Amino acid sequence: MRYCDYIRDANAADFKLAKSLGFKKILTPADGISIITCPQTIGAHKTKVILEGNCGYIMKHINDRRVVGIIIDDFEADKNLIEHARHKDKILLINAGKITNSSDNYRARNLIRARELVKNALHYKIKIALTSTARNANEVLSAQQLIEIAKVLGASELQGKNMLTTLGDVL
């Protein structure tokens, strides 16, 4: 049980919640890592940063040393971006919450795009982390749910488990 998840609400995560969902730890912005969304700049942040946005925005800021990972909006990945992120040793975070918390039409679209993104990421051997990136405690997914989502996205069970440990290993 060395799985980690990331949620956006620092007040929602506690040890009991993490343990009950099968995680060693649930990371939050209080742990020194922030998600920066397009069009914000990184300049004001002193902590580690995960970039979230379109491919152009991410490519513009990916060389910053504070950037540890990327979340691609709408799962539209450019193979060039994935390869560049791998060379810069960045983590690709798959936002499972965007798949589970969307309407039926968007859920199908996001699922197809996320499957293609995971396929490309596995091909280029980039580090992948699967996370719920929940906005509150009600949206947090359990470790087993995230592993099943990873399998739906084309990963094996072992790869799915590795996706849940990647974020904790880096931080």
pLDDT band at 104 (very low <50, low <70, confident <90, very high): confident
Residue 161, H or E segment: helix 157-170
pLDDT band at 134 (very low <50, low <70, confident <90, very high): confident
Angstrom distance (rounded) from CA 152 to CA 169: 24
pTM for the whole structure: 0.89
**What pLDDT does 44 receive?**
67
pLDDT in tens, 62-85: 998 889 999 988 888 788 999 999
In this structure, what CATH number is given to the domain that contains residue 23? 3.20.20.140
Angstrom distance (rounded) from CA 21 to CA 143: 6
Q: Is the pLDDT of residue 45 over 70?
A: no
Who has greater pLDDT, 163 or 102? Answer: 163
pLDDT band at 150 (very low <50, low <70, confident <90, very high): very high
**What pLDDT does 34 receive?**
84
Q: Is the pLDDT of residue 32 over 60?
A: yes
List, in order, residues 6 or more apart from 100 with CB less than 8 Å away.
107, 132, 141, 149
Q: Is the pLDDT of residue 169 over 60?
A: yes
Q: Is the pLDDT of residue 1 over 60?
A: no
Q: Is the pLDDT of residue 128 over 60?
A: yes
Instruction: Compute the half-sphere exposure of residue 97: CA atoms within 13 Å on the CB side of its CA.
Output: 18
Structural domain count, the chain: 1
Q: Is the pLDDT of residue 147 over 70?
A: yes
Angstrom distance (rounded) from CA 32 to CA 157: 30
What does the mean pLDDT of the chain come to?
88
What domain range includes position 95? 4-170
